[in-house]
Amino acid sequence: MIEENKKVDNSAPDAEFDWDAFTSDEGFAGGNRKDLEEMYDKTLSTISEKEVIDGTVISMNKREVVINIGYKSDGIVSLNEFRYNTELAIGDTVEVYVENQEDKKGQLVLSHKKARALRSWDRVNAALEKDEIIKGYIKCRTKGGMIVDVFGIEAFLPGSQIDVKPIRDYDVFVGKTMEFKVVKINHEFKNVVVSHKALIEAELEQQKKEIIAKLEKGQVLEGTVKNITSYGVFIDLGGVDGLIHITDLSWGRVTHPSEIVELDQKLNVVILDFDDDKKRIALGLKQLTPHPWDALDAEMKVGDNLKGKVVVMADYGAFVEIATGVEGLIHVSEMSWSQHLRSAQDFMKVGDEVEAQILTLDRDERKMSLGIKQLKQDPWEGIEAKYAINSKHTAKVRNFTNFGVFVEIEEGVDGLIHISDLSWTKKVKHPAEFTTIGAEIEVVVLEIDKDNRRLSLGHKQLEENPWDVFETIFTTDSVHEGTIVDIFEKGAVIALPYGVEGFATPRHLVKEDGSQAKVEEKLTFKVIEFSKAAKRIILSHSRTFEDEKKADETAKKKEVAKIAKKGVKKVKDSLEKTTLGDISELAALKSQMESDEVGEK
């Protein structure tokens, strides 16, 4: 037991080792050390600093890659320099740049990044010439696309060259390694443009040819929503694009296609049409479902009331959807019994729920007209009782014409006041002188025209005819005070008492001093003509003083004639008693008459 537990001293020198041969550079197994070193050196690669050589990955960890370039020591390269190549594995051959054969720690210093940069332009040019597929690492986003690391060069990947379909989120590609084709190199500015789309297009081109060859009208295919525009939806049919126009998305009205479909949605579509080259393919979605008119209630008929929703407004009417894809038009004339056409927007708006009556129904043409005024009683039914002749009402002025005023007593009941029935006394040249549009006016029903749905109305008839009274006041030759309110070429209009107006010609406007009367001048006027039927009073200012002067002249002549008559009688009575004195008296009378005549002249 003591022998077994005895420890062996391994530190003692081996008696058989030849220390003299070792120190004298003699090789092992009978050779010398120098020969062995030469043999070892021949197994190592001859390398120079600042050159690019190929090496082999012999090990990897999360931070570093160990590369053997056949040198006496291995080199270590940061894994970050290989981030563009996520598939790097042990045994792969990679290019490295020898920065230093031996640093202070005796370590071989290599760089993969610098090696790629030195050879990058040669590789990029070769890839363009040979149309090769290369790998690149997407570093970051930039305006209009992405920045890609290709052989250590920053290349530009346009957004339109990422994929065959529009890309909405570029960020999902950052940090990815993808395959590309070099499509353009600008040597002057050292710019490289790459494309991933070019790879996909080459694959899709063959698929596209196969799909196009099989296309037929009426064929139903599955597709993916690729793009949505205001006028329709582009569908990817597996390499071939087709368009669903907005009108072919739904039997109902569609404001924007996004109401029906969404991006990347998969759906079945039917081929409606395509051109000879089958490059433009028209697709339909609504055609896969029955037309709503075919499912319309067979019992529905003219005169029925129904409810619907206003989907479109126009000046001439409103389209009401009573079921998806089934619409009826309410013309503006069917919205109110009023004959004053207005815009349909005055009655309803998009989104309103309305009740209407079916006026026409054409299932073959798939057309329907509706009305809402029919839900109210026609105001012209029983019009004679409600608006009897000579009854008085309040109306609203709607419109003017040269011959009268159109008014509305209630919605759907219109009437005309002729211009001659506006006033008993005032001569109205245009209704605008008497009232205004929108104003209320009292009227009397004069006549009912039920066929044309119109009433003849009057306003002046609210009062008694004042011309019956005026006939006793403005008698011929009567004199009244008046004011000139207007003068024109043919004469003047004179305002008389009681609100009546008269007319005077220019020659009857001459004043006693010979001057012409002027506007707003107040003078006396004599009535020279009165016409009750024509409601006309003709006046004269000149006659007021001319007639007075003539009256004086007439009185003088009568006096002279009287004196002469008395003298003649006296002569006859005393013919036989004539004396010289009588003769003298007659002579004196004659002289007096002659002097009076001279005075009158």
Domain ranges of the chain: 131-200, 215-288, 292-375, 383-462, 467-540, 561-600
Residue 359 pLDDT class (50, 70, 90 cuts) = very high
Q: In CATH, which of 3.20.19.10, 2.40.50.140, 3.30.1220.10, 3.50.50.60 is domain 383-462?
A: 2.40.50.140
Q: Is the pLDDT of residue 220 over 80?
A: yes
Q: What is the pLDDT of residue 370?
A: 92
The pLDDT, as a whole number, for residue 1 is: 39
- Residue with the larger pLDDT of the pair 16 and 464: 464
Q: Give per-residue pLDDT as tens, 540-594.
A: 888 888 877 887 777 677 776 676 666 666 656 655 555 555 556 666 666 766 6
The pLDDT of residue 245 is 92
| Strand-pair category, 367-371 with 326-331 | parallel
Are 131-200 and 292-375 the same fold in CATH?
Answer: yes
Confidence of residue 392 (pLDDT cuts 50, 70, 90): confident
pLDDT band at 6 (very low <50, low <70, confident <90, very high): very low
Report the pLDDT value the prediction gives residue 594, as an integer from 0 to 100. Answer: 65
Of the ranges 178-182, 250-254, 517-521, which one carries the lowest mean pLDDT score? 250-254
Segment 506-532 shows an average pLDDT of: 87
Q: Which of 55, 52, 79 is CA-nearest to residue 68?
A: 55
- The whole-model pTM stands at 0.42
Q: How confident is the model at residue 4 (pLDDT cuts 50, 70, 90)?
A: very low
Residue 44 predicted with pLDDT over 80: no
Q: What is the mean pLDDT of residues 420-441?
A: 83
In 411-545 the beta strands, taken as DSSP E runs, fall at 413-418, 440-449, 454-458, 479-488, 491-495, 501-504, 522-531, 536-540
Mean pLDDT, rounded, for 486-490:
88
pLDDT band for position 234 (cuts 50, 70, 90): very high
**pLDDT at 142 > cutoff 80:** yes
- Give the CA count within 13 Å in the CB-facing half-sphere of 188: 0
Give the homologous superfamily in CATH for domain 131-200: Nucleic acid-binding proteins (2.40.50.140)
- Choose between 574 and 271: higher pLDDT: 271
Predicted pLDDT at 283:
92
pLDDT over 90, % of the chain: 6
Average pLDDT over all residues of the chain: 80
pLDDT in tens, 344-358: 888 888 888 999 999
Q: Please give the average per-residue pLDDT across 463-469, as a whole number.
A: 75
Does residue 310 register a pLDDT over 70? yes
pLDDT of 105 above 60:
yes
Quick one: pLDDT band at residue 23, thresholds 50, 70, 90?
low
pLDDT, residue 149, reads 86
In the prediction, which pLDDT does 276 show?
65
The pLDDT of residue 464 is above 60: yes
Find the mean pLDDT for residues 137-162.
Answer: 87
3-state DSSP percent of the chain in helix, strand and coil, to 5: 30, 35, 35
The superfamily (CATH) of domain 292-375 is: Nucleic acid-binding proteins (2.40.50.140)
Q: Which residues contact 521 (CB under 8 A, 6 or more apart)?
A: 483, 484
8 A C-beta contact, residue 192 and residue 124: yes
What's the pLDDT at 49? 65
Tell me how far apart the alpha carbons of residues 436 and 397 are, in angstroms, rounded to a whole number: 7
pLDDT of residue 5: 44
Distances (CA, A) of 210 to 205, 226, 237: 9, 20, 12
Q: What is the pLDDT of residue 574?
A: 59
Sequence length of the chain is: 601
Query: What is the rounded average pLDDT of the residues 376-385?
Result: 80
Cβ contacts of 318 within 8 Å, gap of 6 or more: 310, 312, 329, 330, 335, 344, 347, 348, 354
For residue 369, what pLDDT band results from cuts at 50, 70 and 90?
A: very high
Q: Are strands 266-274 and 281-284 parallel, antiparallel or unpaired?
A: antiparallel
Task: Give the amino acid at 466.
Answer: P
- For domain 215-288, the CATH architecture is Beta Barrel (2.40)
> Minimum mean pLDDT among 46-50, 281-285, 457-461, 488-492: which range?
46-50
Q: For the domain with range 467-540, which CATH number is right: 3.40.190.10, 2.30.30.100, 2.40.50.140, 1.10.287.3610?
A: 2.40.50.140
Is residue 313 within 8 Å of 330, Cβ to Cβ? no
Q: Strand ranges (DSSP E) for 165-219?
A: 177-186, 191-195
